[in-house]
Amino acid sequence: MATCSREQTVVLLPRSPSPSKRYFPIPLDSLEDEFRIRSADDCKLFREEFNAYCITSMSTYIYVVSVTLFSIGPMHNTVADFWRMIWEQKTATIVMLTNLKERKEDKCYQYWPDQGCWMYGSVRVAVEDFTVLVDYTMRKFCVQYVSGNDGPRAPRLVTQLHFTSWPDFGVPFSPIGMLKFLKKVKTVNPSYAGPIVVHCSAGVGRTGTFIVIDGMIDMMHVEKRLDVFGFVTRIREQRSQLVQTDMQYSFIYHALLEYYMYGDTELDVSSLEGHLQKLHNTRTPLDKLGLEEEFRKLTNVRIMKENMRTGNLPANMKKNRVLQIIPYDFNRVILSMKRGQEFTDYINASFIDGYRQKDYFIATQGPQSHTVEDFWRMVWEYRCHSIVMLTELKEREQDKCFQYWPAEGTVTFGDYTLELKGDALCDTFTLKDMVLTYGPEKQSRHVRHFHFHGWPEIGIPAEGKGMIDIIASVQRQQQQSGNHPIIVHCSAGAGRTGTFIALSNILERVKAEGLLDVFQTVKSLRMKRPHMVQTVEQYDFCYRVVQDFVDIFSDYANFK
């Protein structure tokens, strides 16, 4: 049977004095400075603290965490025991922090059916529903104990929350997804239920990381301080090696700092109107509007110039329209290298996650005359069928984008030929249907071009309906053509591009959950590409479009 340990209110007593360095609890108002100090010199101080678990004395204090079961990931020969544990402990929520396979190695046996129902020993498990999102999948099971002389017991609902964004190596790039996931776990788990079961593969590293973040957020609220070191030391007495690496240890601090600095910015749509009034009417001590202050916090997202090496290579500099907006190396779109031609794998374009799918968007700049073939090469190599254009070719007498499609008939750019098949004008955007042919292979594909004309040369659109309409039209096209990446561009590929992608993700979440988080949505975009949603007016526009959407579609179901 899966090993487990249980944790409730715990009193930590003083230990005998130790000559080792003491790691005292951190007051919340010192957390930012402490994180900065410990992160210096390649996180040297985090490593020292991580390696000092068992040799440091602790002060006396009380902390409270949720009742939790730590478990290894079920194996084929333990899956029946796993479900028996779920039943006997009256568990209503399972937290899974590993994928079934990682680096081609089995990490966890699939202990649930893909569809229908299955017997695991004496426990029947039936799939009721599942929802796939970009960072996690939520599955709902009907679980029933059917053995014994008393006949089947009354069925119970068990929800599994499966975090899918933990990379094979290291830790997640950002803690935002984990914090959203943790909040969902707390929301889903009913108050009357038994312990939450948390597992990864071995049930130590990721499991411990999750539990420490959860416990320390509770401690933040109760005691206004943190003691990560003391907490980890204590739970390691109950299950060895919980929090397995110094990277996981520093990630805990990163997540706690994120939570402390920005808090919970999620809104129910029913509270949006009141929140907007507050943003526009409340002033800070420095006489800034609440909206301006909220947008100012986004400047805390550091532009990581050290991760822009490829775009800053001399051979690639001329391919960038704006030198301040260069893709990061870790999520740039990589083209296939042309034979015998160095540096031909670069285009100023970045993969951006959607609401349900990773790398759902490609944010890019408007093509230039000398990059237009690279643009169509990207469309072809990543099998894109939808292109969204948010700028005119010229604005205020300045070139903003090269015309990369035929006005009529056909046009050829290197190995790629475009044929215009149809042209239709909607209220605020033009639809162009084109056939893209790759000459060397003599293969063709359909591409639909959405050109939004509702963005004025200065400022933002006067109302949100046009943006709502084009987002809906793009989504319908995606459903018909398969969910390959959507290419989105303005001129530099940041301000309007970021606004469109932010709104696509925000409105998709409003439809699915009735929730929105404009701040964290934009913050996540800025961590993937500099200056996404560039101005406070564009940021305000995101809020206003959602309000327009709610006013137009009060039951959300009309937004297809």
Which pLDDT tens digit goes with each residue over 35-64?
A: 787 777 677 666 776 666 543 323 222 233
The reply to whether 12 falls in a domain is no
| Domain span at 486 | 297-552
**458 versus 112: which is more confidently predicted?**
112
Let me know if residue 384 belongs to a domain: yes
* Interatomic CA distance for residues 214 and 363, integer angstroms: 34
pLDDT at position 24 is 74
9 in any annotated domain = no
3-state secondary structure of 298: helix
Q: Is 89 exposed, middle or buried (CB count within 10 Å of its CB: 0-12, 13-18, 19+)?
A: middle
Q: What is the mean pLDDT of residues 97-102?
A: 93
Task: Tell me: do 348 and 460 sit in the same domain.
Answer: yes
> Burial of 511 by CB count in 10 Å (0-12 exposed, 13-18 middle, 19+ buried)?
middle
CA distances from 214 to 150, 217, 412, 519, 551 (A): 39, 5, 56, 22, 36
Neighbours of 22 (CB within 10 A): 12
Together in a domain, 245 and 324: no
- Within this chain, do residues 345 and 222 fall inside the same structural domain, yes or no? no
CATH of the domain at 150: 3.90.190.10
Q: Is residue 19 part of a domain?
A: no
Per-residue model confidence as pLDDT tens digits over 450-495: 999 999 988 999 999 999 999 999 999 999 998 899 999 999 999 9
pLDDT of residue 300 exceeding 50? yes
CA dist., res. 442 & res. 427, Å (int): 36
Instruction: Report yes or no on 106 lying in a domain.
Output: no
- Mean per-residue pLDDT of the chain: 89
Which residues make Cβ contacts (< 8 Å) with residue 152, sequence separation at least 6?
124, 144, 145, 146
Residue 393, pLDDT above cutoff 80: yes
- 443 vs 554: which has the higher pLDDT: 443
Confidence label for 405 from pLDDT (cuts 50, 70 and 90): very high
Residue 6 has pLDDT above 70, yes or no: no
Q: Give the least confident one: 42-51, 75-84, 158-167, 269-278.
A: 42-51
Please state the domain count of the chain. Answer: 2
Query: Are 252 and 361 members of one domain?
Result: no
**How many Å apart are CA 283 and CA 464, to the nearest integer?**
26
Could you read off the pLDDT of 177-197 as tens digits, one per residue?
999 999 999 999 999 999 999
Same domain as 251, residue 347:
no
Q: Would you list the DSSP string of 83-131? A: HHHHHHTT--EEEE-S-SEETTEE-S---S-SSSEEEETTEEEEEEEEE
Q: Is 426 known to be catalytic?
A: no
Instruction: Please pick, among 200, 384, 401, 542, the residue that the annotation labels catalytic.
Output: 200
In a domain, 136, yes or no: yes
Structural domain contains residue 489: yes
Strand, helix or coil for residue 152:
coil
Torsions phi, psi for 467 (to 5 deg): -70, -40
Does the annotation mark 401 as catalytic? no
Residue 360 and residue 249 share a domain: no
Q: 92 CB contacts (<8 Å, ≥6 apart)?
A: 156, 157, 158, 159, 189, 190, 193, 194
Which residue among 108, 384, 401, 490 is the active-site one?
490
Residues 252 and 306 in one domain: no
Q: pLDDT tens digits, residue range 320-331?
A: 999 999 999 999
| Domain match, 146 and 196 both | yes
Q: Are residues 183 and 120 in the same domain?
A: yes
Do 456 and 342 belong to one domain? Answer: yes
Task: Let me know whether 248 and 322 are in one domain.
Answer: no
Check whether 346 has a pLDDT greater than 50.
Answer: yes
Same domain membership, residue 309 and residue 229: no
Of 217-221, 229-233, 331-335, the one with minimum mean pLDDT is 229-233
Long-range pairs for 176-179: beta carbons < 8 A, 24 or more residues apart: 176/258, 176/520, 176/523, 176/524, 176/527, 177/134, 177/135, 177/136, 178/135, 178/210, 178/213, 178/255, 179/213, 179/255, 179/258, 179/259
Q: How many CA atoms lie within 13 A of 146 on its CB side?
A: 13
Does the residue 529 lie in any domain?
yes
